[in-house]
Amino acid sequence: MTSGITHTPNTSPIAIITPGIYEVTFSVSGTEPNQFALFVNGLPVSGTIYGSGAGTQQNNGQAIIAFSAADVLTLRNHSSAAAIGLATVIGGTQANVNASIVIKKLD
């Protein structure tokens, strides 16, 4: 975990403690076609709705976001037509990562 960012595992909110410009990249492996987006303080971030047309495709997204101190970032199912399951055991016999997010401070 990077200083200036806090997150409790198995929860949605990611707290941005240190204000600045950040690059946010995400990847989701859903089991159905899906749309995911980034939200800051409960509001969608413009230009961050990314979709996947098949349940076997990864859905990747990226944005540059200016955060204020105490902003809360979440990655959410935006407007998928159905409930989205996160895929496990893809391509082998072991459980795998099915969602990830990388947050890099640029300034």
Mean pLDDT calculated for residue range 47-54 = 92
For residues 17-21, average pLDDT: 97
User: In 10 A of CB 13, how many CB atoms?
Assistant: 11
Domains of the chain: 5-105 (2.60.120.40)
pLDDT category of residue 76 using cuts at 50, 70 and 90:
very high
Ramachandran category for residue 71: left, alpha or beta (phi over 0 → left; psi -120 to 50 → alpha): beta
User: What pLDDT score was predicted for residue 86?
Assistant: 85
- Structural contact between residues 98 and 52, judged by C-beta atoms closer than 8 angstroms: no
What pLDDT digit, counting tens, does each position of 79-98 carry? 877 788 888 877 888 888 88
